[in-house]
Amino acid sequence: MIIRPIIYLFLTASLLFISCEKEEEILVEEAIPPIVEDKTATYRVTFSFDWNKNDFPTDYPAGAHFSPLVGWVHQVDNTFFDSGKIATAGIEQMAETGATGVLVAELNAEISNGKGLKVYTGSGLSGGVGTITIDVDVSPQFPAVSLVTMIAPSPDWYAACVDVNLLDENNVFVTNKTVVGRVYDAGTDNGASFTSTNSDTNPKVAISKITQPPLGNGTEVKPSFCTVSFEKILNVKF
C-alpha cells in the first residue's frame, strides 16, 4: 500500500516536468521576431544608346561616342543636373570634355551636406550605338538616381537620367523601371554643332533640354537616342 503513492507521485512529477518543458518550447517559438522588410536595394542601370547616322543624319560626326558615366544616389526632387539651373564648374567640365574629377568633388560635397548617399563613376562607350551598365545602391532616404555622360564630340551637350525615383506610390522599391534619357545643353559654350570651335558662353546661361537640330527635330530629340532601364537585382536587409 505504500508503493502506490510513491509511483503516483513520481508519475505526476514526470508529467509536470514534461508539461513545463513543452510550455518553454512554445514560449521560445513565440519570441522569434518577425521578418524585417527590405530596406536597401541594388539596381542595375543600363543606358541604351542608338545615336546612328540614319536616324540623326544632320552633321553626324566622325568618332561619335559617350564619356564615362558619372552621377549619384540622392534625395527625391534634386535638380542638380536639370534644366533651369546654372551649370557648376563640374558639369561644365563633364559636358565639354568628359572629365569627371571636379564633378565628383562637387557631388561628394553635396553628400557631406546630407543630400545624397554615394557618387558613382562608370565606363563610357566608344561608339554612338551600344550600352553602358552600372550597379547602384539606393535606400528609403535616398531613393533617386541621376547619371550623366557627355555626348561627344559636342560643344557642351550631355545625355542623362535625372532624379529617377525608384520607390513606388507605396514606398516600395520597384522591380523594373525604364525612362527616356534626356539630352541637355549645359549653357557654357556657344557652339551650334558637334565640332564647333570652342566659344565660351559668358556669362553662362541656364541648362536647357535640346530640341533643335542637329540632334533635335525642332520639338524633341527622338526617344530612341537614349533610354535608361533600372532592374532591381538585390535586396539588402539590415
The one-letter amino acid code at 139 reads S
Task: Name the percent of the chain lying above pLDDT 90.
Answer: 81
List pLDDT tens digits, range 72-86: 999 999 999 999 999
Q: Residue 40: which residues within 8 A CB-CB, separation 6 or more?
A: 137, 138, 139, 235, 236, 237, 238
Report the candidate in 106, 69, 95, 67 with the shortest Cα–Cα distance to residue 201: 95
**pLDDT above 80 for 143:** yes
- For residue 64, the Cα-to-chain-centroid distance in whole angstroms is 25
Q: For the residues 119-133, what does the mean pLDDT come to? A: 98
> Whole-prediction pTM value?
0.83
Question: Does 122 score more than 90 pLDDT?
Answer: yes
pLDDT at 61 over 50: yes
pLDDT at 237: 55
**Is the separation of the CB atoms in 122 and 134 below 8 Å?**
yes
Smallest CA-to-CA distance from 168 within 177, 157, 180, 181 is with 177
pLDDT of residue 60: 98
- pLDDT tens by residue, 169-213: 999 999 999 999 999 999 999 999 999 999 999 999 999 999 999
- Cis peptide upstream of residue 153 (ω within 30 degrees of 0): yes
pLDDT of res. 142: 97
The pLDDT confidence band at residue 234, using thresholds 50, 70 and 90, is confident
Predicted confidence (pLDDT) per residue in 37-58, tens digit: 446 999 999 999 999 999 999 9
